[in-house]
Amino acid sequence: MTESSAARLSAHVGGASPSRPASKPRAHWLAPTGLILLSLVPIAAGAFRLTELTSGGAVTPANARFFDSPVPVAVHIVASSVFLVLGALQFAPGLRRRRWHRYSGRIVAPAGLASALSALWMTLFYAMPAVNGEALFVMRLVFGTAMAAAIVVAFVAIRRGDVATHSAWMTRAYAIGLGAGTQVFTFLPWTLALGAPDETMHAVLMGAGWVINLAVAELVIRRRAARSTRTSRTSGRSGAADARLS
């Protein structure tokens, strides 16, 4: 690896660059730790649902759809949990340098696809409770499709060595998946203050989780791009060359 390509790789993974001092290794774990913490509630809810399904819990009107058709929800819970935990670790610069990123990515991408496709399946074929109205139905179709498409675009990009495009689209896919975590915090204050939301508010609070995450993802992607441009200026390479790392 030449000196300048090392600088580019370092900038991509958030390490030291000629213009920026190395951040402390402990700081590299802040993002993955925060993302895993945000994932904990939906992962715990999934573990609860799987336990109920496998231990023959009582069938009620609230859970009958899961007992009638357990495979999609089981696939969704396992794949989503793997995607959120391993996906969070993909943001740790130290692990990326150790090839972990590549090996783990072979699990993260299919898990993300399985999460999105099973979500679409449940949206289309489960008999949902009345509070899941048409607006949420459409949003689930849009965000589920966008998550799957983002993973495919990211996969195609990395196959041709375009790290910047890969990284941007995986970040967007992760943001959509992590909507399940952010929705806990959009629902919590509303429910505590005003009780269970009606159909419209339910859709607004669900949508807010996805929109907030996608807005944060765009900020992260822009910051990364700006840092990469700064690094390429100091190392004397073009931005286009910087976007390609094979």
Q: Contact residues for ligand HEM (CB under 6 A)?
A: 42-43, 45-46, 49, 65, 73, 76-77, 80-81, 83-84, 115, 119, 122-123, 126, 128, 140, 143-144, 147, 176-177, 179-180
Residue 93 CA: distances (Å) to CA of 39, 82, 115, 136, 229:
20, 19, 25, 36, 18
Q: Please state the closest distance from residue 100 (CB atom) to ligand HEM, in A.
A: 20
Residue 201 CA: distances (Å) to CA of 101, 122, 135, 191:
39, 21, 10, 11
Q: Which is nearer to ligand HEM, 41 or 225 (CB)?
A: 41
Q: Please state the closest distance from residue 192 (CB atom) to ligand HEM, in A.
A: 20
The one-letter code for the residue type at 41 is V
How far apart are alpha carbons 133 and 128 in whole angstroms? 9
Q: Which is nearer to ligand HEM, 9 or 107 (CB)?
A: 107
Q: Please state the closest distance from residue 196 (CB atom) to ligand HEM, in A.
A: 14
* 3-state SS assignment for residue 226: helix
Contacts of 64 (CB under 8 A, 6+ apart): none
Q: Please state the closest distance from residue 68 (CB atom) to ligand HEM, in A.
A: 11
Q: Which is nearer to ligand HEM, 13 or 84 (CB)?
A: 84
Q: Please state the closest distance from residue 49 (CB atom) to ligand HEM, in A.
A: 4
Residue nearest to ligand HEM (CB): 177
Q: Which is nearer to ligand HEM, 32 or 179 (CB)?
A: 179
Q: Which residues pair with 244 in a beta bridge?
A: 162
Q: Which is nearer to ligand HEM, 8 or 202 (CB)?
A: 202
**Torsion angles phi and psi, residue 99, rounded to 5:** 65, -5
Radius of gyration of the chain (CA): 20
Q: Please state the closest distance from residue 145 (CB atom) to ligand HEM, in A.
A: 8
Exposure string of 65-74, with b = 16+ CB inside 10 Å and e = fewer, is bbeeeeebbb
Q: Which is nearer to ligand HEM, 16 or 47 (CB)?
A: 47
Q: DSSP state, 79? A: H
